[in-house]
Chain A
Amino acid sequence: MTTPLLQVRALTVEFGTPRGVARVLTGVDLDVDRGEVVGLVGESGCGKSVTALAILRLLRPPGRITGGSVAFDGRELTTLPESEMRRVRGRGIAMIFQAPRESLNPVLSVGAQLGLLLARHDGLGGRAATRRALQLCEMVELPDPERVLRAYPHELSGGMCQRAMIALALACRPALLVADEATTALDVTVQLQILLLLRRLRDSLGLALLLITHNLGVVAEACRRVAVMYAGEIVETAPADELFAAPRHPYTRRLLAARPRIGAAPAGDPIPGSVPDPLNRPTGCAFHPRCHRAQSRCAEQHPEPAVPSAGRAVRCHYPEP
């Protein structure tokens, strides 16, 4: 097997707070291959966004990486000097965010924001920059690119802002695009359009995608592989179809069951309790206080990931059959 484009191993992130050190990520393992679409799902506050920010080293104090490794294209990012890291952002890995309009600078036109990036990364100016900007707009299927380039963010719809943001992200030809809840704030129809666009970009550019979302529908629609996160840990990794057909981790199972479905009663009770406080994590398996399969061992021993079949990993002492 070739090494994946992005290989995250045992990534640990801690936030120093007045009440003590909160361990927000505990030993996250995550792989993304070239041209692969990987979903990272979980409830709010489980550490999805922190994972993305940690990969790009954009965590703000008091958050910091305290352990583990992030290898991208054979280079270790956690120890890279900031000047080198700057070249990775945009050219290696680009990131887009949840609020598309707020992600664009309100006082600069879309064209100006693109121009700044192009001038820096490709040394493009004047007519060549305009041509490339138009080409990027076409790539993200923005209608009327000339107008969009002149427009300020508030003059564009949410979907168009997200397309413009994707154009910005693609300006430096990254190999991996991290989309942190990139479709969450959009209408469902626009959501689908953006997802389809991202998939087409994957096909045409060979772009790898890490889709961070709490929306399982998005995962089912777009991803080949899925990692499920709970309380700062990856609890289950599986190919998307297998995950939906036969979840092995009790949390995944309850999460899937909690999806609302029209015409059917919910397939299970909601998960009791709430996400643990990162300052006060349960002993053993972090999910055991809420788990219907928990036994005494779960409270004592932290489960290591088990590999029930190729391409799957489950962090559970008593996985679902």
Chain B
Amino acid sequence: MRTADAATSAGLAMTLVLVLVALLAPWLAPYDPYATDPGRALRPPSAAHPFGTGVFGEDLFSRVLWGARLDLLIAAGAVGIALVLGGALGAVAGFAGGLADEALMRAMDVLQAFPNFILALGIAAALGPSLPNLVVAIALTNVPVYARLMRSQVLTQRVAPYALAAVGVGNPMVRVLFVHLLPNTWSPILVQATLQSGWAILQAAGLSFIGLGVRVPTPEWGVMIGMGVQQVTAGQWWVAFFPGLAIMWAVIGLNLLGDGLQDWLDPKRR
């Protein structure tokens, strides 16, 4: 499986670059991402401005770097909330079964009945455009995925022979659930979270692009594409192109990593 390993390594490298850029943005960025200078508006990429400059003369390179910070934060926050909330709901549904299971899963059905982006759009619109609301909107639309995944994991693991065996040699039931079963449910959920992070970035950018996420001067990739759209027809392609490239980079990197993680997390390959 050499190609798979190479793809995973590439994904890991791309994600690492992304994380490093996000962490080091204040030191890496040559300009203040909010600084405008009408005198240098809409310049094409050059040595001084590798990604060119925007409508207000802002340095796009610095803004893309700062955007990594914001978009990763949104993705991590949204996926983190979705994972904890969805995981807890799924675990409860799986362990409790019966009416609780039925009620929780039908609630998840309702959430999933809407196309993901439309639901996020509705929630973001209802809450009003702001950074925390954007995170909440994306998190809520992703809850059902984790709830279902966790529930299916719990259902299969709780009847695993080792669960019964652990009780049979004297482990208390509650400990079996937390110490023996939960660690066995993590790996697919971690994989899902990695894949979902890419989609969360895409969603955040999408919502910000249509004005329901963060607002215009903020260095966020979706916002930046929105600011550059009108310029594309005028031939000033770089304004929207580089933030788009950044999104692509992030989504591809996280997806490749997520695909490969499944194998890496398998205890049989340790």
Contacts and interface: CB of A to CB of B under 8 A. Distances in A.
Interface string B259-270: 000000001101
Interface stretch (B51-59, B176-184, B217-225): B176-184
B165 interface: yes
A102 B179 contact: no
25 contacts: A58-B167, A89-B169, A89-B170, A96-B165, A97-B164, A99-B161, A103-B161, A103-B164, A104-B162, A104-B165, A105-B184, A106-B268, A107-B184, A107-B267, A108-B180, A108-B183, A117-B169, A117-B171, A120-B170, A120-B175, A152-B270, A154-B267, A154-B268, A169-B168, A171-B170
A94 interface: yes
A207 interface: no
A108 B176 CA distance: 12
Contacts of B164: 58, 97, 103
Contacts of B173: 86
B172 interface: yes
Interface of A: 56, 58, 60, 86, 89-91, 94-97, 99, 102-108, 113, 116-117, 120-121, 152, 154, 165, 168-169, 171-172, 174, 178
A31 to B, nearest CB: 21
Nearest to B173: A86
Contacts, number: 83
Given A105-B180, A108-B180, A152-B267, A90 B161 contact: no
Return the 5 tightest CB-CB contacts between A and B, nearest first.
Answer: A90-B170, A95-B168, A103-B165, A102-B161, A168-B169
A89 B180 contact: no
Given A108-B180, A152-B270, A120 B160 contact: no
B166 interface: yes
Q: Which secondary structure characterizes the binding site on chain B?
A: helix
Nearest to A89: B170
B169 A169 contact: yes
Interface residues of B, number: 22
Contacts of A97: 161, 164-165, 168
Contacts of B160: 102
A155 to B, nearest CB: 9
B183 A107 contact: yes
B183 to A, nearest CB: 5
Nearest to A116: B179
A172 B170 CA distance: 8
Interface of B: 159-162, 164-173, 175, 179-180, 183-184, 267-268, 270
Contact of A106 (B169, B172, B175, B267): B267
A91 B170 contact: yes
Contacts of A121: 170
A86 B267 CA distance: 30
A161 to B, nearest CB: 11
Contact of B168 (A96, A104, A105, A154): A96
A89 B161 contact: no
A254 B71 CA distance: 74
A94 B169 contact: yes
Identify which of B171, B173, B268 gathers the most chain A CB atoms within 10 Å of its CB.
Answer: B171
Contacts of A113: 166
Contacts of A154: 267-268
A106 B170 contact: no
A105 B162 contact: yes
